[in-house]
Amino acid sequence: DGLMLNAPTPDDYRRLIPIANRHGITVYAWLWTLNLEHDRKQIMAEHPEWLSVNRDGYSLVDSMAYVPHYTFLCPALPEVREYLKERVRSFAEVEGLEGIAIDFNRFVDVLLPTTRWPRFGIEQDREYPQWDYGYHPAMIEKFKTLHGYDPRKQEDPAQDTLWRQFRCDQVTEVANELAEVVRSCGKVMG
C-alpha cells in the first residue's frame, strides 16, 4: 500500500503519484543527502570545495574512498546545508507526496565490515587516516572556535571523543534542519 521511490527529480514523483494513488498506493521519496547521487557530477564540477576531506587532508574530489559513488559533502558548510534544504524542499512541495526518508546522511565508512576487506584489499584493525573523513577546513575551524584546539594536533584524533561527537553533531544538525523543511511542507520525515 506504499512505495518508497528514489527518483532523480520532483517531476518524476509528480508523474508517478496520480498513477500510484489510483491503485491505493501512497508514495514517499527516498533521498540521499550528504552523499551525492543523481546530481553528483554537476555538484562536483560546480562546487568541489563542498566535498568531505579525510584526516590525510585529501578531498573526495581528489581521492576515492572505496567506490566512486562515495562523494560525501561536508555537513559543517552553511552552503551545503542550504543546498540540501532547497533540494529537499523541492521534493517536499510535491503535491500528494506523503513524506521523505533520507539516506547517506553520514560520513564515509571509517571501518568496513571484515567481510568487505578482501574486496578492497584492506585490513582495518583501527581507524586509518585515509578513511577517516570529516576534516574539511570549515569543520576544523568550527571546532576550533568552539573548543579552542585543532583536533589534528592530537596524537590520535580518532580517539578524541570531543572531536568525534562534534562531527556526529554536525550530521545530526543537518538531519534536524532537513526534518524542519519536510515538516513545514506538511510531510512526514524518516
pLDDT in tens, 109-165: 999 999 999 999 999 999 999 999 999 999 999 999 999 999 999 999 999 999 999
Of 76, 66, 93, which Cα lies nearest the Cα of 34? 76
Please say whether the dihedral angle defined by the alpha carbons of residues 177, 178, 182 and 185, taken in this order, is positive or negative: positive
Mean pLDDT (the chain) is: 97
Say which residues have a Cβ less than 8 Å from residue 72's Cβ, sequence separation at least 6. Answer: 34, 35, 36, 51, 52, 60, 65, 104, 106, 107, 108, 133
Q: Given the DSSP bridges, would you call strands 188-189 and 26-32 parallel, antiparallel or unpaired? A: unpaired
- DSSP characters over 74-139: PTT-HHHHHHHHHHHHHHHTSTTEEEEEEE--SPPPSS--GGGHHHHT---SS--GGG-B---HHH
Nearest-angstrom CA–CA distance, 54 and 136: 7
Residue 114: its pLDDT value, please? 96
| Residue that the C-alpha cell 590520535 belongs to | 156
User: Exposed, middle or buried by CB within 10 Å (0-12, 13-18, 19+), for 51?
Assistant: buried
Whole-number percent of the chain with pLDDT over 90: 99
pTM of the model: 0.95
How far apart, in whole angstroms, are the C-alpha atoms of residue 152 and residue 75? 18
Write the pLDDT tens digit of every residue in 169-187.
999 999 999 999 999 999 9
pLDDT tens-digit map of 28-42:
999 999 999 999 999
pLDDT, mean of residues 73-92:
98
Identify residue 51 by its one-letter amino acid code. L
* Confidence (pLDDT) at 43: 96
**pLDDT at residue 134 in the model:** 97
| Paired residues of 35 in beta bridges | 72
Share of the chain above pLDDT 70, in %: 100
